[in-house]
Structure 1
Amino acid sequence: MKYYSPLLYCSLAFAVFQGCSQAEKSTTLTNTPEKLIDPANMDTTFKPGDDFFHYASGVWLKNNPVPAKETRWGSFNQLRDFNAKAVKSILEEVSTKKDAKTGSVEQRVGDFFSSAMDSVGIDAAGKEPIKDDLTRINSIKDIDGVVKEIAFQRTIGIGSPLYNFYVDQDEKNTAANIAQFGQGGLTLPDRDYYLVNNTRNRDIKQAYETYVQQLFTLVGTNDTETVKKFEQIWNIEAALAKAEWSREDMRDPYRTYNKLTLADLKKNAPQLNWETTFSTLKIEDADSVIVNNPSFFVEASKLLAKKSVDEWKTYLQWNMLKTAAPHLSTPFVKANFAFTQALTGQKEMTPRWQRSFEVIDRSIGDLLGQLYVAKYFKPDAKKRMVELVKNLSETYEERIKTLDWMSETTKKKAIEKLQAFTPKIGYPDKWETYDGLEIKKDDYYGNIRRAKTWNYNDMVDQLGKPVDRTRWGMTPPTVNAYYNPANNEIAFPAGILQFPFFDFSADDAVNYGGIGAVIGHEMTHGFDDQGRQYAADGNLKDWWTKEDADNFKKLANKVVEQYNGYTVLDTLHVKGKLTLGENLADLGGLAMAYAAFKKTPQGQSNEKIDGFTPDQRFFLSWAQVWRMNTTPETAAQLILVDPHAPATARTIGPLVNMDAWYKAFNVKEGDKLYKPENERIRVW
């Protein structure tokens, strides 16, 4: 995969995958049902004003429990699964091709898949692929060797021990790339797993201890030593967790923008031996870097001095083992999956072929994307999306002009930013060729490592070069979308341009309630609590009057309060502050899509289809996008780590603020979801 800042992309959904793209000769790929809004999926024993989530999708939810190989099951997952089968046919075809030219797209994708599917060869290799790594780590003699190994592991794709590092745009000078360091170094998904002592977290810790002991046992460590090693790893990671800022704090782009010189780094965190770190990371010429949490590096430096070299060697061995485990022999993979089960509740392992193509997509996504595009994507979809983006943009501008809480001065700046949006639709204008990357048919782990090394070198090679704004933050076969504030761009990979989001045969109500709301969602990210702080040119700078900024914050706080009130699982509530950006995007996106829909002939009519009015079909289309079942374990994890609210809240959160929804379904005072008109929130 290409390396991109984890903070710059505001995506539509969390951790979803797969899709399609371009071509003159395309194969029809459709998962469109006979009825786009099917009453058979609804449970009309629920009043829409009491529980619209189950009213719209209750029967579907009952009939579609989470499959054993999944942790969630909804429209995103169904489309991902549907597309996966299309990708599988491509992978099987190119992997058996006898005449593929060495270095060609077909050869490299095909041989990567062949190597991944060679379970016999992978099992026979056992721990051999990581033998040299273990030897190298074991030979470390002092803290300087530890610091160098921490950086070196990053360059060859063995995770991110101690801290995160990447090269990306300078948010205050988006024409330039800059090296960036961030807090990190944990194995568990969030710092709360280390800091909050409750039954759920204690169970996760026990599963984590078992996992650590299993992997170390597989490389020849005795039982007594494995117990000791877990204690060493846990103590280091718990200390790092304590030094981290919360995910809510990390949403502040000004707080996380700290430009430091090499002298600053050496003064504040001397144990990190920054000359060695810079040299190993291949950024020797960097005169300054961005650090998202300077206090974290102060504490990390102290921890380097406090812990022994042997403890750090254990930590580095663990980082290597956990990164490699999913790609090694069966015992490693099974141990990895058992830990995954504890975190997510997934009952069965994802099939090897599906795991394999996900690895390929992350490693050489533009090569796989080219093959998928050439076979399945309809160019007309891109043309129609251009029209929809234009319609949504015009509607957004009209709504900005009518805002009663914003001054004319700030409105002018907001419209300038909106008009400067760059839309990316379907697939890149130019493909990455991965020149020099060798893929072998009999070396799966080696292929992964070489691809990660290639991508790392490609990333650091961007230092000192003009920013390439044609690059994408997602591959074409991805069911998702994103907004990138540094480029002021909205992007819609081809994977999402299918039902239930988009369909050529669909009426406008369905398309505007689906992909129209997605477009509006990504546009609104440009004006959410984070995105609004970036100007039309992508730079982080204030373009608001103080009064307008205060008005926005008051409205945003109301959104935080609304979502804080939603319960997810037993006593767990949605974190309104963590999910604020996505909730604002949902509220604005659906409102924008509805306003654009009302300009269409169908939007201005009352003609029913399958018994539903146009407005009802619009809101039901939105609801069927977000229908989803989730395992309790995954639901609990996502509350901590996901900036998106869960599906139930995403379904109803925007609706209760829209007068049109009340009218469409005759929702009245006394209904559980009813919100008095003067309390309905309209931001954009």
Structure 2
Amino acid sequence: MKKLLIGAAMGALLVPAMAHAQSWTQGDEHACVDEACTVYELFQTPAEGATVLGYQGTEAPKYGTWGFDLNGRDTSVNPGDSFMRYANGAALDRMQIPSDRTSYGSFALLRELSDNRVKAMISGLVARTDLAAGSDEQKIADAYRSYMDEAGIEARDAQPLQPYLAAIRAADTHDKAAVYMGQTQGRIGGTIFGTGITIDQKHPTRYVVSTGQSGLGLPNRDYYLESRWAEKKVLYQAYVARMLGMIGWDNPEQAAADIVAFETRIAEAHWTPIQNRNRDETYNEYSIAQLASEAPGFPWQDYYNAVGVGDVSRLIVRQDTAMPKIAAIYAETPMSVIQAWQAFHTTDDAAGRLSKRFSDAQWEFRSRDLQGQPMQRSRDKRGISFAEGMLGEAVGRQYVAEYFPAESKAKMEELVANLRIALGNRIENYTWMSAETRAAAEEKLRKFTVKIGYPNKWRDYTALEIRPDDLFGNGERAGVFQWRYQLNRLNQPVDKDEWGMTPQTVNAYYNSANNEIVFPAAILQPPFFDPDADPAVNYGGIGGVIGHEIGHGFDDQGSKSDGDGVLRNWWTPEDKANFEALTTRLGAQYDAFEPLPGFHVQGGLTMGENIGDAAGTAVGLEAYHLSLNGQPAPVIDGVTGDQRFFYGWAQVWQSKMRDDALRQQIATDPHSPAEFRVIGPLRNVDAWYDAFGIQPGSKYYLAPEERVRIW
């Protein structure tokens, strides 16, 4: 249950996140108060606990002799029936998902490369005896030491929880319990309403308080309400009872049944994941008094006072129609249930920083039972993630110094420039768009900000206290440190230099409020970007990523902001109708995809990312052609330039996923499964048909008039 809502509209690339990130985990500063984040990332980053170190090297892997491994193909497959297998089949057959992973592939290998480098860096710091007291390096080393202090952690067992459980028992009225929820901001604990600081989407030069639905312990509302998740719901109730029993809560079995029933009622009030994507509907301006009037049953002013934002004159409510329902459910629920619910979520939040019996129980449910992961990561790997999660930019500064050459940034700038030219050309020639809307789109494209590699200024961790023998306290202090950092923003102008990801993060994103695309250093490596690879492969890889992120500025939600990041309609009614007709057709294509029996891709949930992928492939290919300066593309090993481009795109998504993890992705993630990130956009690109001779009768063949060409 995430308590922070930070950032504005921003979007990511592939792997589903764990459902229950803790407040100190890396990337949580951009977590949403519900399952629908409005930041468009290249993929959804896993929370702490989902990363492993299977690839052992610290040198970037190589793919073939020119950027693509021809031996990884399965040319016995018709490329029109499965381009994923045609391009990657032999490699996938050889690939095994490590036992401590829920998925594996090209992307995972690159994440592991970054993790291995971070591991080497942190291990080096831990071995040193000359680190200055209070320095970032000392804090990184001490954070890792605290996680590896197993003897001390086991000796303390559940003791760190006792003050929290006593406070929960003392909060014996609904008003007191609501105040306690507010006090958990930045700390362990549960809340039925998530609150945070975000860029104001209609006034993107300032920050605003945002509030939305929360309160669930399962990945989203569907897990409570749909029969196909009934088994997971039963396992969840058993997990709740197990955790309550471990802390000595009275009658844990009955309390667990009451908690799940309470959360089921909340789930019924929640907006759906698809509703949560609609930026017009999730921007609702309120005063605290107005919210209290329209959603009685919850002491809003007392809650916001406890959060630390009780004096604000305005706030943004995301799911406005859900708030009165959840407030009423809260008021009607017996205090014994509220207290048990809070005790469980507090324990669940803290489990990763408690003794082995707690951390094992959490892993067994959240990773094994929900996602099918057979084995837990080793403690040292989790310790590396913990240290990095608390001091991400301090780690990133060292990462950049060791692993990000200046020439990579220069080559990326050239690629981005070509992608912008390509999209500009396409906008100029669209027949479905009027001159008025075209001018606004061109202005937005001109105003894009591009960030590559690392931030211009680094985060200051001076005020964060880290102790080598206090794992639990380090997590709490890091959460409070982060929340105070957010609170201090409220009276300040928006910091345009700030990054939403660390340099060592393998991802990329588009932030609509800043109208910016951001590419951390760690993604600028094979298979995305290889300075020694053939340009066509780079354009299919990192070029597709660049086009994907630029495309988010013009997807069904990103297109609701103008070049200055203001949430407003800059479309004529006719152009908007034309655009929506195209997106409806694209959504229907994805709705038809069925990765597992009974589990279809949700075209409405994945729409933004699907449009991004469509833009990435179409615009990336045009940019590649522009880079040839009128010369024909060379043929390498019998492979044409266009073929190499499409291979580059497919190689990025070469991956396998366990069935349970795939089911969770389909239900919760705004990104389509990897197979359909390959074929979904390509079947709408005319050049793909020409490059591989795709004919009618192939499984994914679309007649020219059925192909959707948005950007």
Q: Classify the TM-score, shorter chain.
A: over 0.9
| 1:149 shift after superposition | 0.8
The match for 1:307 among 329, 333, 340 is 333
The match for 2:226 among 181, 196, 221 is 196
Q: Tell me the secondary structure at the aligned position of residue 392 of structure 1.
A: helix
Letter in 2 for 1:670: G
- Do the aligned partners of residues 477 and 603 (structure 1) sit closer, same or farther apart at CA in structure 2, a change above 3 Å counting? farther
More deviation in 251-260 or 94-103? 94-103
Give the distance between the partners of 2:490 and 2:634, measured in 1 at CA.
57
Give the distance between the partners of 1:159 and 1:67, measured in 2 at CA.
32
Q: Tell me the secondary structure at the aligned position of residue 73 of structure 1.
A: strand
Give the distance between the partners of 2:85 and 2:64, measured in 1 at CA.
21
The answer for unaligned runs of 5 or more in structure 1 is 19-26
- Do the aligned partners of residues 190 and 468 (structure 1) sit closer, same or farther apart at CA in structure 2, a change above 3 Å counting? same
Q: Which residue of 2 aligns with 1:23?
A: none
Q: Tell me the secondary structure at the aligned position of residue 101 of structure 2.
A: coil
- Contact 1:344 1:633 (C-alpha < 8 Å) held by counterparts: yes
Give the distance between the partners of 1:603 and 1:122, measured in 2 at CA.
65
The match for 1:206 among 234, 240, 243 is 234
Q: Is 1:128 aligned with 2:167? A: no
| 1:403 shift after superposition | 0.5
Give the distance between the partners of 2:338 and 2:81, measured in 1 at CA.
55
Q: 1:628-666 CA distances to partner (integer Å, 9 max, x unpaired)?
A: 101000111111101011111110111111111111111
| 1:160 shift after superposition | 4.6
The match for 1:569 among 583, 596, 614 is 596
Q: 1:389-410 CA distances to partner (integer Å, 9 max, x unpaired)?
A: 1111111111100001001110
| 1:28 shift after superposition | 8.3
Q: Which residue of 2 aligns with 1:665?
A: 692
- Contact 1:159 1:323 (C-alpha < 8 Å) held by counterparts: yes
- Do the aligned partners of residues 375 and 307 (structure 1) sit closer, same or farther apart at CA in structure 2, a change above 3 Å counting? same
Letter in 1 for 2:510: Y
Q: Which residue of 2 aligns with 1:553?
A: 580
Give the distance between the partners of 1:372 and 1:107, measured in 2 at CA.
16
- Contact 1:603 1:614 (C-alpha < 8 Å) held by counterparts: no
| 1:673 shift after superposition | 2.0
More deviation in 638-647 or 602-611? 602-611
Give the distance between the partners of 1:140 and 1:246, measured in 2 at CA.
31
Give the distance between the partners of 1:33 and 1:123, measured in 2 at CA.
45
Q: Tell me the secondary structure at the aligned position of residue 271 of structure 1.
A: coil
The match for 1:178 among 184, 203, 208 is 208
Q: Which residue of 2 aligns with 1:37?
A: 68
- Contact 2:144 2:386 (C-alpha < 8 Å) held by counterparts: no
Q: Is 1:389 aligned with 2:416? A: yes
Letter in 1 for 2:653: W
| 1:123 shift after superposition | 1.5
Q: Tell me the secondary structure at the aligned position of residue 194 of structure 2.
A: strand
Matches within 5 A, 1:518-557: 518-557=545-584
| 1:294 shift after superposition | 1.7
| 1:353 shift after superposition | 2.3
Q: Which residue of 1 aligns with 2:11?
A: none
Matches within 5 A, 1:613-632: 613-632=640-659
Q: Which residue of 2 aligns with 1:84?
A: 115
Give the distance between the partners of 2:438 and 2:47, measured in 1 at CA.
36
More deviation in 297-306 or 639-648? 297-306
Q: Tell me the secondary structure at the aligned position of residue 184 of structure 2.
A: helix
- Do the aligned partners of residues 28 and 83 (structure 1) sit closer, same or farther apart at CA in structure 2, a change above 3 Å counting? closer
Q: Which residue of 1 aligns with 2:246?
A: 218
| 1:29 shift after superposition | 3.8
Give the distance between the partners of 1:343 and 1:668, measured in 2 at CA.
41
| 1:606 shift after superposition | 4.4
Q: Is 1:144 aligned with 2:170? A: no
Q: Which residue of 2 aligns with 1:278?
A: 304
Q: Which residue of 1 aligns with 2:54?
A: none
Give the distance between the partners of 2:477 and 2:46, measured in 1 at CA.
25
Q: TM-score, normalised by structure 2?
A: 0.92
- Contact 1:4 1:166 (C-alpha < 8 Å) held by counterparts: no
| 1:274 shift after superposition | 2.0
| 1:562 shift after superposition | 0.7
Q: Which residue of 1 aligns with 2:385?
A: 358
Q: Which residue of 2 aligns with 1:24?
A: none
- Contact 1:121 1:442 (C-alpha < 8 Å) held by counterparts: yes
Q: Tell me the secondary structure at the aligned position of residue 138 of structure 1.
A: helix
More deviation in 32-41 or 255-264? 32-41
Give the distance between the partners of 2:582 and 2:617, measured in 1 at CA.
17
Q: Which residue of 1 aligns with 2:268?
A: 242
Q: Tell me the secondary structure at the aligned position of residue 257 of structure 2.
A: helix
| 1:432 shift after superposition | 0.6
The match for 1:452 among 479, 483, 495 is 479
Letter in 1 for 2:132: K
- Contact 1:17 1:477 (C-alpha < 8 Å) held by counterparts: no
Matches within 5 A, 1:600-615: 600-601=627-628, 604-615=631-642
Q: Tell me the secondary structure at the aligned position of residue 175 of structure 1.
A: coil
- Contact 1:325 1:336 (C-alpha < 8 Å) held by counterparts: yes
Q: Which residue of 1 aligns with 2:348?
A: 322
Q: 1:284-326 CA distances to partner (integer Å, 9 max, x unpaired)?
A: 3200110001222211221222112221111111110110112
Q: 1:37-67 CA distances to partner (integer Å, 9 max, x unpaired)?
A: 1121111110112211111111111111211
| 1:352 shift after superposition | 1.8
Q: Is 1:654 aligned with 2:681? A: yes
Q: Which residue of 2 aligns with 1:269?
A: 295
| 1:346 shift after superposition | 0.5
- Contact 1:326 1:336 (C-alpha < 8 Å) held by counterparts: yes
- Contact 2:225 2:264 (C-alpha < 8 Å) held by counterparts: yes
Report the identity percentage: 38
Q: Tell me the secondary structure at the aligned position of residue 627 of structure 2.
A: coil
Q: Tell me the secondary structure at the aligned position of residue 152 of structure 2.
A: helix
Q: Which residue of 2 aligns with 1:161?
A: 191
Matches within 5 A, 1:417-456: 417-456=444-483
- Contact 2:63 2:527 (C-alpha < 8 Å) held by counterparts: no
- Do the aligned partners of residues 368 and 159 (structure 1) sit closer, same or farther apart at CA in structure 2, a change above 3 Å counting? farther
Q: 1:316-375 CA distances to partner (integer Å, 9 max, x unpaired)?
A: 111101101122111111111110211100011122222222233332211111121222
| 1:275 shift after superposition | 2.1
Give the distance between the partners of 1:17 and 1:262, measured in 2 at CA.
32
Give the distance between the partners of 1:375 and 1:187, measured in 2 at CA.
40
Q: Which residue of 1 aligns with 2:148?
A: 117
- Contact 2:585 2:708 (C-alpha < 8 Å) held by counterparts: yes
Q: Which residue of 1 aligns with 2:19?
A: none
Q: 1:482-524 CA distances to partner (integer Å, 9 max, x unpaired)?
A: 1010110101111111100001111101100000000000000
Give the distance between the partners of 1:573 and 1:296, measured in 2 at CA.
27
Q: Which residue of 2 aligns with 1:63?
A: 94
Letter in 1 for 2:276: M
- Contact 1:53 1:648 (C-alpha < 8 Å) held by counterparts: yes
Q: TM-score, normalised by structure 1?
A: 0.96
Q: Which residue of 2 aligns with 1:22?
A: none
More deviation in 662-671 or 596-605? 596-605
Letter in 2 for 1:319: H
Give the distance between the partners of 1:267 and 1:278, measured in 2 at CA.
15
| 1:163 shift after superposition | 1.4
| 1:680 shift after superposition | 1.2
Q: Tell me the secondary structure at the aligned position of residue 109 of structure 1.
A: helix
- Do the aligned partners of residues 114 and 494 (structure 1) sit closer, same or farther apart at CA in structure 2, a change above 3 Å counting? same
RMSD: 1.6
Give the distance between the partners of 1:580 and 1:336, measured in 2 at CA.
32
Matches within 5 A, 1:630-645: 630-645=657-672
- Contact 1:17 1:480 (C-alpha < 8 Å) held by counterparts: no
Q: 1:84-139 CA distances to partner (integer Å, 9 max, x unpaired)?
A: 11111111111122111111111001110111122222112111121111111111
Q: Tell me the secondary structure at the aligned position of residue 32 of structure 1.
A: coil
Give the distance between the partners of 1:121 and 1:602, measured in 2 at CA.
64
Q: Tell me the secondary structure at the aligned position of residue 430 of structure 2.
A: coil
Give the distance between the partners of 1:176 and 1:144, measured in 2 at CA.
32
Q: Is 1:295 aligned with 2:321? A: yes
The match for 1:333 among 359, 383, 387 is 359
Q: Tell me the secondary structure at the aligned position of residue 168 of structure 1.
A: strand
